[in-house]
Chain A
Amino acid sequence: MTETALLEFRSVNTHYGAVHILKDVDLAIYPGEMVCLLGGNASGKSTTLKTLLGMVTPTSGEVLLDGEVVNDKPTSYRVINGVTMVPENRRLFKRLTVKENLELGAYLRDDSEGIEEDLENIYELFPRVKERLSQKAGTLSGGEQQMVAIGRALMSRPRVLLMDEPSMGLAPALVQQNFELIQQIHEEGMAIFMVEQNANMALSIADRGWVLQTGRVVLDDTAEALLSNPELRSSYLGES
């Protein structure tokens, strides 16, 4: 592809202390696409996200944002330049109101008109959130919290949304609803990088996917190909 990747890993290695976590990982996320990263426990999925956001610095290799090496740039730099994460289990600021949560999403912006506009967009996307603005985030139901978490991430006007296990801790009925929501946001042009255990569901809406095993990328293919890959089916999709 001739297009520059929005976010890219070039043979990234990371360590926690002496432990080698990511081993020569190559990834690329292009504008407007939906990709997913699959892998079991302790395969390095969360580390990948943290490295993308700059909370973990790679020991070797390069992290690129719009083709620029950002290894040493802080998280705030990446947030300003359009990278945001929806954390695992939503992790809202429970004792703050819904409104305050949303506003904290726009912490690094100072265009108050733009913020106002984005708030309106979010109310339109999630009418239920608007009803609960002055309520403490911790008192919302699981589904509503997920909406606020996504809304909070959108408030920084990202170009790519990193989602850590978006279906974790949600009731089955809400998981489906949640994926529809992600798809809807994606259709409006947002690039989405999703880390999921629910491989079936994730691959059914993604364009491409990677499979991570003990810190190494073992499969890198289109979502369709991965879905029909017998190896993957046996190890991740629970079929024999």
Chain B
Amino acid sequence: MMTTNLTLKKPFELNWKRILFWGSICALSQVFICLVGLPSELNRRILIESTLSLGYLFILWVPLLFGYVVSKIVKLEGIENPKQGAADLLSGALTGLLGSLGLVLLMLGIDNLDMRDPLINWNPKLFRLLTFENSISFGSLVWIPVGVGLGTVGASLHQMSSQIRKMTAYAMFGLFSFAVLEDVIGDLSEGFRLEWLSDMIYAKKGGMTVTSTIVLAIVLALLPLLVQGKFKKTVDRYRSEAKPEDKRRNSVVLFSIVAVLVLVLPWFLGRIVNELLANVGLFLLLALGLNIVVGLAGLLDLGYVAFFAVGGYTTAVLTSPNSPWFSPETHFGISLLVVVVMATLAGLLIGAPVIRMRGDYLAIVTLGFGEIIRLLFLSDWLKPYLGGSQGITNIPAIDLGPWEVRGADPRSVFYMVLAFCVLAIYVSWRLQGSRLGRSWMAIREDESVAEVMGINIVNSKLMAFVVGAVLASFSGAVLAAKVGSVFPKSFEILVSIIILVVVIVGGMGSITGVMVGSLVLIGILGGPRQPGLLQEFQNFKLLIYGALLVFMMLKRPEGLVPTARRTRELHQEEYLQDAWLGDDESEDREEVGEQL
């Protein structure tokens, strides 16, 4: 590749258009965050004792981010890139300044106009927060230098050496995790009898102490120096040098270690984390089922919650003494068999009429079916049988001889869910490579051609619905026993959507992706009715889900842990371009050109 001495801009010239653009976005984001209520709501959550609350942090990271973005340069091949320097720092500072001006305008607005009617957070509370319980001029005097400073810091990230950048990143993310995960770390240290450690880090009234913050920052920043290089080198060396049989043996060992950890760890974890893991498991079960329907067979089912509900209600009717119409009070095991039958029937019932529909139509119709099932459970018509809006309560714990699985003991629920998840993962994994799995993938790719191959479209699709339905119904059954009651309200459309987001964010069609997705989303943010690790965000969960979904679709549509297949497809154009650049055969070049 020839290198010319073209420069894109003179050494010291500001790209005003870019600064104005990102500066306005920065200002808008800050105002938006304020008006959504994040700072007011989260101000009580102290991160660092008497210094920083989570509420303020939400305003502060914005100029940092946009300062970083505005000074980012796309490196172009064949053109010498200008050295980044003072001009870029200034761009960052100006972006931060524009952001702060947004906040100043907001303060002036709240002071002079009354817009509380549509915007409930347009109120004195936010005003006091922004002015630090002082005057507007005082607030401006604080925010402007802070914005400028953070914008500059954001921009300067590009100019640090990669080593220092890595250290900064470690310190920042590490501190953030320590501060936000206070409850969990407290819970964990209790389990491991390390209370003294958490006592040292956190202040009595919540939040980290200033001293521990500084110490931790230094420790975390030094961490990459000690670990990173060596670890990566070892992994690389292992990848390239180890013999295949060694690798196989080692992965078996690794797998066993992970398995043992998963089995043993709950004994060291407190209630909060165990409860959380049980929830993650319940949603993982749902997501694995939906992954088969959407990820493998390509059937966009938006009414998936219906099967979850069928599992829950079947268990409730069969095991609870409070079931209004028919209460055999059977054992959970027996009810589980009925659950499988009911889920299969539900899968066929919902699947059969929609089997000829494709894409959008399928999504809309299944959405309708999901709601119909919930409304049936809610209806007065079925109230004598299923309890209507009062639901069915008093579902007994699962009696497993020496053990008992009940909601009050989240550890037992975790083990129960784990068993079902292992089953679901095994089933998904086996199905992927099977004839049935092949036929699903073929249908997903091209239904008509799959039919030409002799695949029975109707049977294959119905099988996908049924397998998905059974997995979801298991999750519903365990949920019923865990919570001890079922209500139509637990099976809202939102559940379907959140599971779909888990599958999409994790990586469609990839089992590992779905596991990571449910761990990240359900575990950290929380499910539709379950709090996650970050309980503070309970009210903003859907906002964050939405933002995350948009971000993922734009930047990483293949999901967090994609299958190689998805990545290929979504970045195919880049691949073809690479092929074109890399291949010298003129014939190939022609063909690729034709493809594009």
Contact = CB atoms under 8 A, between A and B. Distances in A.
Contact of A171 (B454, B579, B590): B590
B446 A91 contact: yes
Given A96-B565, A141-B594, 8 more contacts: A80-B454, A85-B452, A93-B442, A93-B446, A96-B445, A139-B568, A139-B576, A171-B591
A103 B588 CA distance: 26
B591 A142 contact: yes
Nearest to A136: B568
B453 interface: yes
- Interface extent on B, as a size class? 20 to 34
A133 to B, nearest CB: 15
B556 interface: no
Interface of A: 53, 55, 74-76, 79-80, 84-85, 87, 91, 93-96, 100, 103-105, 107-108, 136, 138-139, 141-144, 152, 156, 171
A55 B356 CA distance: 13
B171 to A, nearest CB: 41
Interface stretch (B240-248, B254-262, B433-441): B433-441
Given A104-B442, A171-B594, A95 B568 contact: yes
A76 B454 contact: yes
B453 A139 contact: no
A45 B28 CA distance: 58
B569 A95 contact: yes
B161 interface: no
Nearest to A93: B445
Given A75-B452, A141-B594, A100 B438 contact: yes
A74 B588 CA distance: 40
B451 interface: yes
A152 B450 CA distance: 12
Contact of B453 (A79, A138, A144, A171): A79
A176 B572 CA distance: 28
B271 interface: no
Contacts of A96: 441-442, 445, 565
B260 to A, nearest CB: 35
Contacts of A79: 452-454
Nearest to A108: B454
Contacts, number: 86
B449 A107 contact: no
A84 B572 CA distance: 29
Contact of B456 (A74, A103, A136, A144): A74
B440 to A, nearest CB: 11
Given A96-B442, A107-B438, A171-B594, A136 B453 contact: no
Contacts of A138: 568-569, 572
B445 to A, nearest CB: 4
Contacts of B448: 55, 87, 91
Contacts of A152: 453
Contacts of A171: 590-591, 594
Contacts of A84: 452
12 contacts: A76-B456, A87-B449, A93-B441, A94-B569, A95-B445, A95-B565, A96-B441, A100-B438, A105-B453, A107-B439, A136-B568, A144-B591
Most buried by B among A93, A94, A103, A136: A93
Nearest to A144: B591
Nearest 4 A/B pairs, CB to CB = A141-B591, A79-B454, A93-B445, A76-B454
Nearest to B570: A95
Nearest to A137: B445
B566 interface: yes
B595 interface: yes
Interface of B: 435, 438-439, 441-442, 445-446, 448-456, 565-566, 568-569, 572, 575-576, 579, 588, 590-592, 594-595
The dominant DSSP class at the B interface is helix
Contacts of A76: 454-456
Contacts of B568: 95, 136, 138-139
B439 A141 contact: no
B452 to A, nearest CB: 5
Contacts of A55: 448, 451-452
Nearest to B456: A76
Given A85-B452, A96-B445, A139-B579, A107 B569 contact: no
B446 A107 contact: no
Given A55-B451, A74-B456, A94-B445, A104 B588 contact: no
A139 B442 contact: no
Nearest to A53: B452
A193 B438 CA distance: 28
A232 B576 CA distance: 42
B456 A141 contact: no
A210 B590 CA distance: 35
Contacts of A108: 453-454
Nearest to A87: B449
B454 A107 contact: yes
B596 to A, nearest CB: 11
Contacts of A156: 453-454
Given A95-B568, A136-B569, A141 B588 contact: yes
Contacts of B575: 139
A75 to B, nearest CB: 6
Contacts of A93: 441-442, 445-446, 449-450
Nearest to B579: A139
A60 B579 CA distance: 52
A105 B438 CA distance: 11
A57 to B, nearest CB: 14
Nearest to A145: B595
Contact of A139 (B445, B454, B566, B572): B572
A143 B591 contact: yes
